[in-house]
Structure 1
Amino acid sequence: MRGSPWQYVSKLKQVFHLSGFRAPHDGIDIVVIPGLWVHHTVEKESKRCSWLKILAASTDYDTRVFIFKYDIEPGKDGSVWHPLLGLSRVLLDALRQARPCESQKRPLYFICHSLGGIILKQALYLAHHSYPAIRNALSGIIFLATPHLTSIDDERWEKWRLILKAFQRNVPKTALGL
């Protein structure tokens, strides 16, 4: 992202592709977006027989499973929200590259954990206008422990600041706009 004060290290990595004798146009794509700072365990798990492999093998389709690996550094004020939301465009661009024209009609499913769901929510907001192929392919989402805030209550934001502080030291109140 040109001009962005944050550095993104991200990668959409295909971890499984179970096709057998199935036609590629009948396939599905599953994208896993882990929570912040937990992508290393998901990558290790993908190397052995994990729930992802069982999930992919349980379909009758040509199934590709991707993991969106990312790492961000908090901004100068300790905020991780702006870099986290910025990853949504990185995710969309990576999906566009991983899904060439002939596979854009493949149904697209997401499994998101924790703050990885925030990345997807922002990505879907952007996809509505700028990424119609991704928007149209969206077929399902599973959110696991993803925050769904519907209030501007300061007490809830303080709780989220404390959760982030458990993972990252020195998260100031300004990190969540307080």
Structure 2
Amino acid sequence: MKRFLHRCLNKRKSAGAKAPQSLKSKSREKSEGLHVLLDPPLSERSLDVVLIHGLHAHWLDSYTDRATGVCWMRDLLPLDLPNSPFRLLSFGYDTGASDSEPMEVMTRNFLCKLIDLRRETQTDALPLLFIAHSLGGIILKSALALSADAHDALCVAPATALFFGVPTNYVRDYERIRSDAADEITMSPPMRVFRQDLVFLGATNVRFDDAGLPARFHCQYFTENTGLEDVRPLEEGELARLPTQERIRLSKGHGPMVRYADREEPDYQRVAACVKAAVERLLASAPPT
């Protein structure tokens, strides 16, 4: 995971100088914050589905098929959950500017916005299904660790987390990273922020594991195809087995693994089977309203 974080945060650091300040501000206005993609009436709402995108990605485009314009969570998933209308939320954050917020600020901002929305709409106890991609999965684990530390309203609601393309070998040597390279005062401001981001994400991801949160959130991991393999057809009985597996291999690469054109795609059917099982479990464990 250390190499993964270095790669992500180095890209974040180097990308900021490419865009004029006016364009950065305009982009942030459109992308940052919690966006509502589906909002059924409160009396019909069964759960909240919350999306967190990856590095240099977008709260909607990242999940939208390029050819058809289909966003599978918005356009396909309701067809597979006809009896469980859900509010669909997508968190957007900016990783493409050199003056982006530190990761800790960004993570706490996500928590606050989600908790505030659920409190304001009187849906604090509504079950939660998190779907996170790439760096978004690392941010989600940090957020859930902070939530557990604070014992806030979010940490007591029934919840499940699905991770796409997220490494599971966490930074156990973040203390060494923090003490590396002599005095932080001598570092340039971008390098100082970079190191602080790395230490924060590493420390909170370790806390996520140590607090037993993978079991609490029934974490399931979808791994990408790293080769040139064609679309892998479904095996007989595969969809029935998948919800009980912790790691599931998909046919697509890192970016495309969260984009589907229709319900006939084998990878979509794999993911949908796991989502349906997760929702069934969440609704069964939710307190009566």
CA 1:175/1:149 → structure 2, altered by over 3 Å: closer, same or farther? farther
Residue 78 of structure 2 corresponds to which residue in structure 1? 56
Q: Is residue 134 of structure 2 the alignment partner of residue 114 of structure 1?
A: yes
Q: Is residue 38 of structure 2 the alignment partner of residue 13 of structure 1?
A: no
Higher helix share: 2
Q: Aligned partners of 2:72, 2:118: CA distance in 1, in Å?
A: 23
Residue 169 of structure 2 corresponds to which residue in structure 1? 149
Supply the AA of the counterpart residue of 2:78.
Answer: A
Structure 2 unaligned spans of 5+: 1-24, 178-189, 199-289
User: What secondary structure is seen at the aligned counterpart in 1 of 2:114?
Assistant: helix
Residue 113 of structure 2 corresponds to which residue in structure 1? 94
8 Å contact from structure 2 (residues 51, 89) kept in 1: yes
**How big is the shift at 1:18?**
4.0
**How big is the shift at 1:88?**
1.2
8 Å contact from structure 2 (residues 34, 92) kept in 1: yes
8 Å contact from structure 1 (residues 56, 65) kept in 2: no
CA 1:126/1:135 → structure 2, altered by over 3 Å: closer, same or farther? same
CA 1:127/1:58 → structure 2, altered by over 3 Å: closer, same or farther? same
Q: Aligned partners of 1:85, 1:138: CA distance in 2, in Å?
A: 24
**How big is the shift at 1:56?**
3.1
CA 1:152/1:124 → structure 2, altered by over 3 Å: closer, same or farther? closer
Q: Is residue 86 of structure 2 the alignment partner of residue 66 of structure 1?
A: no
Aligned length: 148
User: What secondary structure is seen at the aligned counterpart in 2 of 1:135?
Assistant: helix
Q: CA RMSD in A?
A: 3.5
TM-score between the two structures when normalised by the length of structure 2: 0.43
Which residue of 104, 117, 125 maps to 1:105? 125
Q: Aligned partners of 2:113, 2:144: CA distance in 1, in Å?
A: 14
Residue 165 of structure 1 corresponds to which residue in structure 2? none
Residue 50 of structure 2 corresponds to which residue in structure 1? 31
Supply the AA of the counterpart residue of 1:62.
Answer: P
Structure 1 unaligned spans of 5+: 1-7, 158-170
Structure number with bigger Rg: 2
Higher strand share: 1
Q: Aligned partners of 1:137, 1:152: CA distance in 2, in Å?
A: 28
Q: Aligned partners of 1:131, 1:121: CA distance in 2, in Å?
A: 15
Supply the AA of the counterpart residue of 1:66.
Answer: L
Identity %: 27
8 Å contact from structure 2 (residues 64, 72) kept in 1: no
Deviations 1:42-99, CA, capped at 9 Å, x for gaps: 3766x94421121134221231111101103346xxxx8x823431101111101221
Q: Aligned partners of 1:153, 1:85: CA distance in 2, in Å?
A: 19
CA 1:91/1:138 → structure 2, altered by over 3 Å: closer, same or farther? farther
**How big is the shift at 1:143?**
0.5
TM-score between the two structures when normalised by the length of structure 1: 0.67
Q: Aligned partners of 1:15, 1:100: CA distance in 2, in Å?
A: 19
User: What secondary structure is seen at the aligned counterpart in 2 of 1:149?
Assistant: coil
8 Å contact from structure 1 (residues 74, 83) kept in 2: no
